[in-house]
Amino acid sequence: MNKYKDKVVLVTGASRGIGKAILNKFAKHGAFVIGTATTETSADIITKNVTADNNTGIGLVLNIADKLSINDFSHKLKDLNAPCILINNAGITCDNLLMRMKDDEWEKVINTNLTGMFHVTRLCMRAMMKQRYGRIINISSVVGLSGNPGQSNYSASKAGMLGFTRSLAREVGSRGITVNAVAPGFISTEMTDELTDDIRDSILNQIPLARLGHPEEIANVVDFLSSDQAAYITGQTISVNGGMYMG
């Protein structure tokens, strides 16, 4: 099925977990995918992962919190067709109680998750405006809606993404560009695999469906929001959290 044939899709933070699942979904549906990672090694793995299945795409290095890296990335994009679908997935955590949180722990998370998303989106915007077509999907988090102790920086960054989503949707809707957010709950990834049994049980007790989500379940929602079937949906946040937060 080639429903994204002739479309270029950019997914930030695509070397593992949710980002990898999203990238693979688009690649299997015929898109030319560009996946980013913070190291050359991880970028090369993305390229091999995509091309191993005879799909088309490339992995590129990008640190979205670094203006020099963004500038270098923008030059590399000029050698490729401009993305018409952007998935802002890259993000970090640096957890601590607010009373103990250092300035750099706050700034690193905000600069990556929120300011970095701004820079990448702005980089892709001109081509989408010119084409009068685009899909932008921002990967937020359940804690951007509910909050979470020890994650004031991360929660603030993910809540900020939701305000950004709604504001940008109002700005660019008349140009045929939709902007939406997906707010995952706890998803089974390399990060959650490291949780202790006690922490995992505590999380599961908060989830009505009594299980962690799968990266592919996030990718499915992103796929829908990027498709023609979702052309009249914009400025929305879709929660995919097993019922953990119902707002």
Residue 245 belongs to a domain:
no
pLDDT tens string 44-99: 999 999 999 899 999 999 999 999 999 999 999 998 999 999 999 999 999 999 99
Contacts of 124 (CB under 8 A, 6+ apart): 10, 82, 83, 86, 134, 136
Residue 199 belongs to a domain:
yes
- SS3 state at 246: coil
Residue 193 belongs to a domain:
yes
- Domain of 96 in residue numbering reads as 8-238
Residue 46 belongs to a domain:
yes
pLDDT of 171 above 70: yes
Residue 247 belongs to a domain:
no
Contact at 8 Å (CB) between 85 and 225?
no
pLDDT tens string 115-133: 999 999 999 999 999 999 9
Catalytic residue among 4, 133, 154, 232: 154
Residue 25 belongs to a domain:
yes
- How far is the C-alpha of 41 from the C-alpha of 229, rounded, in Å? 36
* Count of the separate structural domains present in the chain: 1
Residue 232 falls in the annotated catalytic set: no
- How far is the C-alpha of 103 from the C-alpha of 115, rounded, in Å? 16
Type and span of the H or E element at 211: none
Residue 1 belongs to a domain:
no
Residue 3 belongs to a domain:
no
Ranges assigned E (strand) in 125-227: 134-139, 177-184
**Percent of the chain having pLDDT more than 70?**
99
**Which strands, in side-by-side order, build the sheet including 237-240?**
56-61, 32-37, 8-11, 85-88, 134-139, 177-184, 237-240
Residue 163's CATH number: 3.40.50.720
**Percent of the chain having pLDDT more than 90?**
91
